[in-house]
Amino acid sequence: AENVGIVALDVYFPRRYVDQAELEQHDGVSAGKYTIGLGQSKMAFCDDREDISSVCMTAVQGFMEKYAVSYADIGRLEVGTETVIDKSKSTKSVLMKLFEESGNFNVEGIDTTNACYGGTSALFNACQWVGSPAWDGRLALVVAADIAVYARGPARPSGGMGAVCILVGPDAPLALEFPLRGTFMEHIYDFYKPDMASEFPTVDGPLSVTSYVRAVDHSYAAYLDRLEKVAGVENPSLSDLDYLVFHSPYTKQVVKGFARMAYNDFTRNPDAPVFGDVQQFRDMSREESYGNKVLEKAFITLTKAAFAAKTAPSLLAARNIGNMYTASVFFGLASLLAEVPHAQLDGKRIALFSYGSGCAASTYSFRVRGDTSKIAAALDLAARLDNRIKVSPADFENVMLLREKTHNAQEYEPTGSTAELLPGTFYLQKVDSMWRRAYGRI
């Protein structure tokens, strides 16, 4: 198969959101802490009517209908998620319900979990399947979805929720540049979910931020090495990447990630003319550079224009929905495709930086070689983001309490209203005495 990659893509996010400026007031923190400090405008959330299975069903069924793809044409389905409601039964197996009518049960692939990275691993698996001797000529679907919720406290405003469904196949408009890939993985306790009874993660916020930056360093360096060795690019740098999409826990972290890549360019080639204003950091060790606010600020200033051109358009969804864990980086890609016209994207390289705590990270890239305007039209992203319902912070907190109380419940009927769900949304009807879940669709 040639030019394997992303053929089509669509997203799902819930209709309800809380406004971050209102949340600042409600939480009694200084004005600007969430909106400027984290760079977030709105945060999407759901009540007990939606769980990870319903969210994935909504995304997949919506995608299949929108793009008129037949379930019989899918030979592989991969799910990346860290929203786990069962320690054994996969979300993929629940999604097989949607295949029943087509009679197609011959579908490879299963769930992949490691914090926000599972979707990336799922996408690699799907692309590699199409590019391998095991491929049977059918298409692959990748679903990345999460309900990101935090306990009350500083991490709560960095929640969110969303799902992305990606069709993978040959002759794709976004072709994966297979050999151009750099990965970094290590053992670290920055964000993890050891408490099986709780939906909330255990978080060391400051450590997770440093870990993200370290992962940028290592995976970006490994990517540039490949660019040099495989593609023969001399002195590879940010200028070889036309667009960059980052995992966004909140958009401020993306600004820092981009600046950090420029710092890495500087350490590789400090005499390059663009680095005239940052020569004072020449002798600083890498260890010292972590958490150094003066250095961070200098590189953010230096990269302002490049960031605006290469990355800012990818933040539309992240700023208005929040973190979506595994789906986050793909909402970034969706935002870029929705915001930048095809004529501008044509022939360009789009790099992605995916980070999952714990940690697993990759920098990799796609080449735009086909029409993206159909995807942009199907996404209709800005209009969909504008057509939502704002909920007060007090009501948002009540919903969070409801989810907390009913998490893992048995013999349970959700009490959340279905009136505000978007048409086509799957919702939880009931959990029986054996924790079997039943769903309906609006």
- What are the residue numbers of the active site? 82, 116, 247
Using CB under 6 A as the binding rule, whether residue 184 contacts ligand ACO is answered as no
Using CB under 6 A as the binding rule, whether residue 208 contacts ligand ACO is answered as yes
Stretch that binds ligand ACO, among 24-32, 60-68, 226-234, 418-426 (CB under 6 A): 24-32
Q: For ligand ACO, what does the binding mask look like between residues 337 and 376, x meaning CB under 6 A?
A: --------------------x-------------------
Q: Pick from 32, 270, 291, 424: which binds ligand ACO (CB under 6 A)?
A: 32
Closest separation between CB of residue 357 and ligand ACO, Å? 5
- DSSP-assigned beta bridge partners for residue 11: 164
Q: Pick from 253, 264, 335, 425: which binds ligand ACO (CB under 6 A)?
A: 253
Stretch that binds ligand ACO, among 175-183, 204-212, 333-341, 343-351 (CB under 6 A): 204-212
Nearer to ligand ACO, 29 or 222 (CB): 29
Both tokens assigned to 74: 């899918």
Total of residues contacting ligand ACO (CB under 6 A): 21
Using CB under 6 A as the binding rule, whether residue 120 contacts ligand ACO is answered as no
Closest separation between CB of residue 122 and ligand ACO, Å? 17
Stretch that binds ligand ACO, among 33-41, 43-51, 284-292, 302-310 (CB under 6 A): 33-41
Closest separation between CB of residue 338 and ligand ACO, Å? 22
Using CB under 6 A as the binding rule, whether residue 158 contacts ligand ACO is answered as yes
Using CB under 6 A as the binding rule, whether residue 212 contacts ligand ACO is answered as yes
Q: Pick from 56, 116, 139, 400: which binds ligand ACO (CB under 6 A)?
A: 116
Q: Which residues, in sequence order, are CB contacts of 317 under 8 Å at separation 6+? A: 11, 13, 162, 331, 332, 334, 335, 381, 385
- DSSP-assigned beta bridge partners for residue 246: 353
Nearer to ligand ACO, 140 or 147 (CB): 147
Nearer to ligand ACO, 169 or 249 (CB): 249
Cα separation, 158 vs 145, in Å, equals: 16
Cα separation, 430 vs 424, in Å, equals: 18
Stretch that binds ligand ACO, among 27-35, 44-52, 163-171, 410-418 (CB under 6 A): 27-35
Nearer to ligand ACO, 9 or 149 (CB): 149
Using CB under 6 A as the binding rule, whether residue 209 contacts ligand ACO is answered as yes
Cα separation, 311 vs 409, in Å, equals: 42
Nearer to ligand ACO, 117 or 427 (CB): 117
- DSSP-assigned beta bridge partners for residue 74: 139
Using CB under 6 A as the binding rule, whether residue 155 contacts ligand ACO is answered as yes
Q: For ligand ACO, what does the binding mask look like between residues 223 and 252, x meaning CB under 6 A?
A: --------------------------x---
Using CB under 6 A as the binding rule, whether residue 205 contacts ligand ACO is answered as yes
Nearer to ligand ACO, 113 or 323 (CB): 323
Nearer to ligand ACO, 48 or 296 (CB): 296
SS (H, E, C) the chain: CCCCEEEEEEEECCCEEEEHHHHHHHHCCCCCHHHHHCCCCEEECCCCCCCHHHHHHHHHHHHHHHCCCCHHHEEEEEEECCCCCCCCCCHHHHHHHHHHHHCCCCCECCEECECECHHHHHHHHHHHHHCCCCCCCCEEEEEEEEEECCCCCCCHHHCEEEEEEEEEECCCCEEEEEEEEEEEECCCCCEECCCCCCCCCEECHHHHHHHHHHHHHHHHHHHHHHHHHCCCCCCCCHHHCCEEEECCCCHHHHHHHHHHHHHHHHHHCCCCHHHHHHHHHCCCCHHHHCCCHHHHHHHHHHCHHHHHHHCHHHHHHHHHHCCCHHHHHHHHHHHHHHHCCHHHHCCCEEEEEEEECCCEEEEEEEEECCCCHHHHHHHCHHHHHHCCEEECHHHHHHHHHHHHHHCCCCCECCCCCCCCCCCCCEEEEEECCCCCEEEEEC
Closest separation between CB of residue 433 and ligand ACO, Å? 35
Nearer to ligand ACO, 30 or 433 (CB): 30
The residues of the shown chain that bind ligand ACO, judged by CB under 6 A, are: 30-33, 36-37, 116, 154-155, 158, 191, 203, 205-206, 208-209, 212, 249, 253, 323, 357
